[in-house]
Amino acid sequence: MYVEEIIRTKKELKRRVAVFNETGEKPVYIINNSVFPGAKTEGKGIPVEMPQYPEPHRSYASCTVKDGIVVKVS
């Protein structure tokens, strides 16, 4: 999975999600890039790769996703 915007590090993702949780502005949406039908896209433990293709993946995070929006990063 990827996040909709180009976020390069887990630290930046955590900061963006914290801002959304405090203010409700600029949610971070998740993109399902899985080729397998039925891939888990909601709930806890959703793996996220950063940054998006075509850049090489340098950071990874496990996220909690609700209604397509990242609400927690662990």
Torsions phi, psi of 72, nearest 5?
Answer: -155, 140
* Count of structural domains, the chain: 1
Residues 54-68: what's their mean pLDDT?
90
pLDDT category of residue 36 using cuts at 50, 70 and 90: confident
pLDDT category of residue 60 using cuts at 50, 70 and 90: very high
Do 70 and 64 touch, CB atoms closer than 8 A? yes
Question: Residue 37: is its pLDDT beyond 80?
Answer: no
**Residue 3 in tokens:** 């996040």
Question: Residue 23: is its pLDDT beyond 90?
Answer: yes
| Residue recorded with tokens 């909601």 | 42
Give the pLDDT score at 13. 95
- DSSP label at residue 60: E
Show the domain range for 32.
Answer: 2-73
Can you say whether the dihedral through the CA atoms of 9, 10, 14, 17 is positive or negative? positive
